Amino acid sequence: MSMTYKPVSFFIMAAMLAGCGNKAVQQEQQAPVKVNVFKVSTSDIPREFSYSGTIEPDNTADIGFAVPGVVNSILAEEGQTVKQGQLLAAIDATEYSNALAIATAGLEQAEDMYNRLNELYQKGSLPAKDYIDIRTKVAQAKANKQISAKHIADSKLYSPISGIIAARKIERGSAAAPGVPAFTIVKTDMVYAKAAIPESEVGSFKQGTIANVYIPTLQDSVSGKITIINPQADAVSRTYNIKIKIPNSNGILLPGMLANISINTGKSMSSLTVPATAVVRDADDITYVFIADAQHKAIRKRITVGALTGKNEVVVTTGLQGGEQVITTGLSNLKDGASISL
């Protein structure tokens, strides 16, 4: 009898010990997480807007020859910095030089004839009509010479502004024609940060407002002033373009760079804020916080956040009403519905 019941007793005791062990583990897993909380409330913060924009040059010039000809010299390349008045290219001016020589000879002949006939006219031996004709020929000869001289001058192409050659559109031996661009030059000693502003916000800005412009490529920020607020809205997006003028004497800001623009309106607005340490962003890019409820449970709450304030707090745009107890510590040990202790 005793041998029959001993194995049974052994299994019962083992089961009881295992059950006690599971309960201990379960109690340990359910131990409340120690946390700190922050009561969500509204506060007055500076009204600041943020936009994405791009850097634009102060001026863009498409320049070309004023006279036709064959390009025989190119003295500037793409990416090169040029000064105002610098020679960029030239065309073969042989034809224009010959035309100037002919015009010069014609002028000399007309002036000589004028000098001869003028004496006769002064003595009354020359009809007025003939005198007017010779004066007209002299004037025409002078004009022909000036035109030929200008053609020679126009055979050389000079930069009208200081800037960077963005595009070279001619080659040696190619034909140049009036009105056809040979170079594109961008002026970058002063640049603009351009952004599109929604209709509901454009009224908050005025010319002269200071803006902070962050350039991700350079990992640096610069400041400038709003100089242009376009009064014409885009027909499709209904946004208004603003431009912020930025000094760029060192040339590090290049056209096309992306920019993050922050503009402080100088006014305050009432907003819900929570400490930045309370905000969690998961792998799916979902932002949320944990709320401590009356039953001492951590409740996950999805939110939408705005700007970061100077107090290391985040503006909550949606998801909270105010008065909630937001958990600020122990977040790595929390999950939705977990027990907490304050």
Q: Is residue 202 part of a domain?
A: yes
Same-domain status, 131 and 84: no
Dist. CA 33–CA 90, nearest whole Å:
80
The sheet carrying 69-74 orders its strands as 156-158, 87-91, 69-74, 175-176
Residue 47 sits at φ, ψ, to 5 deg, of -80, 110
The pTM for the full model equals 0.61
Give 60's contacts (C-beta < 8 A, 6+ positions apart): 166, 184, 185, 186, 187
Give the model confidence (pLDDT) of 265-276 as tens digits.
777 777 888 888
Residue with tokens 């209709």: 199
114-138 burial code (b ≥16 CB/10 A, e <16) = beebeeebeeeebeeeebeebeebb
Whether 78 and 99 share a structural domain: no
Can you give the pLDDT at residue 30?
63
Q: Report pLDDT for 244.
A: 96
The CATH number of residue 228's host domain is 2.40.30.170
Within a domain: 6:
no
Residue 283 belongs to some domain of the structure: yes
245-269-54 Cα angle (round to 5) = 25
CA angle 311, 316, 318 (to 5 degrees): 175
What mean pLDDT do residues 6-13 have? 43
Tell me: pLDDT of 340 over 70: yes
CATH number of the domain at 292, please: 2.40.420.20
Identify the pLDDT of residue 194: 95
Gap between the Cα atoms of 247 and 2, Å rounded: 100
Q: Are 125 and 39 part of one and the same domain?
A: no
Q: How many domains does the chain have?
A: 4
Comparison of pLDDT for 93 and 7, the residue scoring more: 93
Whichever domain contains 126, its CATH number is: 1.10.287.470
Statement: residue 133 has pLDDT above 70: yes
In this structure, the answer to whether residues 104 and 248 fall within a common structural domain is: no
Q: Are residues 41 and 54 in the same domain?
A: no
- The Cα–Cα gap between 12 and 31 comes to 29
Please tell me whether residues 194 and 284 are part of one structural domain. no
For residue 33, give every residue at least 6 positions away whose Cβ sits within 8 Å of its Cβ, in sequence order, or none: 298, 330, 333, 334, 338, 339, 340, 341
User: Would 23 be classed as within a structural domain?
Assistant: no
Lowest model confidence (mean pLDDT) among 93-97, 98-102, 338-342: 338-342
- Over the chain, what is the mean pLDDT? 86
* Window from 60-64, 134-138, 198-202 with minimum mean pLDDT: 198-202
Is residue 110, in this structure, part of any structural domain at all?
A: yes
Percent of the chain whose pLDDT exceeds 70: 90
Helix or strand run (H / E) with residue 132: helix 128-154
Distance CA 154, CA 46 (A): 57
pLDDT band at 19 (very low <50, low <70, confident <90, very high): low
Distance of CA 334 to the CA centre of its chain: 42
pLDDT band at 139 (very low <50, low <70, confident <90, very high): very high
Residues 56, 103: Cα–Cα separation, whole Å:
47
Distance CA 245, CA 247 (A): 7
For residues 260 and 274, membership in a common domain is answered with: no
Q: CA 211 to CA 53: how far, in whole Å?
A: 12
Please check the confidence at residue 190 and state whether its pLDDT lies above 90: yes
Structural domain includes residue 137:
yes
Q: Which of 63, 55, 150, 140 is nearest to 100 (CA)?
A: 150
Residue 149, class by beta-carbon neighbours within 10 Å (0-12 exposed, 13-18 middle, 19+ buried)? middle
Last residue of a domain, one of 268, 297, 332: 268
Q: Is 4 a member of any domain?
A: no
**Which whole number is the average pLDDT over 65-84?**
94
Same-domain check for residues 168 and 257:
no
The pLDDT confidence band at residue 112, using thresholds 50, 70 and 90, is: very high
Q: Could you give the CA distance from residue 271 to residue 334 in angstroms, rounded to a whole number?
A: 27
C-beta neighbour count of 305 within 10 angstroms: 18
With 60 as the cut, is the pLDDT of residue 21 above it? Answer: no
Looking at residues 109-118, what average pLDDT do you find? 92
Side chain identity, residue 197: I
Residue 302 banded pLDDT, cuts 50, 70, 90: very high
Question: What is the span of the domain harbouring residue 174?
Answer: 65-89+156-181
